[in-house]
Amino acid sequence: GEDVEQSLFLSVREGDSSVINCTYTDSSSTYLYWYKQEPGAGLQLLTYIFSNMDMKQDQRLTVLLNKKDKHLSLRIADTQTGDSAIYFCAEAATGANNLFFGTGTRLTVIP
């Protein structure tokens, strides 16, 4: 079955770039997603990438996909204190649309 892994914690200084990494096992995943969850809140869709793409950029966010290594990363440029949250990567299940989530990375931005 699907197995999505992330490192649990990341701390960066305000203004620096953050890079959150994710590895997945289902090579037939069609879409890969990044969600942001603030304490006690819902999941906010940040961006997603189709599996035939290598990179997607959306304002301060850059997603890189290495399909050969099954590695996904999210880069946040000019990280702000408001970016402090848990970031989940997720993959769409093979033949279905439901999502399998990673363990989440807690990003702490130090002022």
CA-based nearest residue to 6, from 44, 31, 32: 32
Largest CA distance in the chain: 44
* 64 lies in the site for other proteins, by CB under 8 A: no
Cα 18 to Cα 85: distance, rounded to the nearest angstrom: 12
Cα 102 to Cα 88: distance, rounded to the nearest angstrom: 6
φ/ψ bin of 59: left (φ > 0), alpha (ψ from -120 to 50), beta (otherwise): left
**Residue closer to other proteins (CB basis): 12 or 101:** 101
> Which residues between 19 and 58 bind other proteins (CB under 8 A)?
30-31, 33, 35, 41-45, 48
* 74 lies in the site for other proteins, by CB under 8 A: no
* 87 lies in the site for other proteins, by CB under 8 A: no
Determine the interface stretch with other proteins among 15-23, 62-70, 74-82, 97-105 (rule: CB under 8 A): 97-105
**Residue closer to other proteins (CB basis): 30 or 73:** 30
Pull the structure tokens for residue 85.
């949250």
* 81 lies in the site for other proteins, by CB under 8 A: no
Please report, as ranges, the residues that interact with other proteins according to CB under 8 A: 30-31, 33, 35, 41-45, 48, 88, 92-93, 96-104
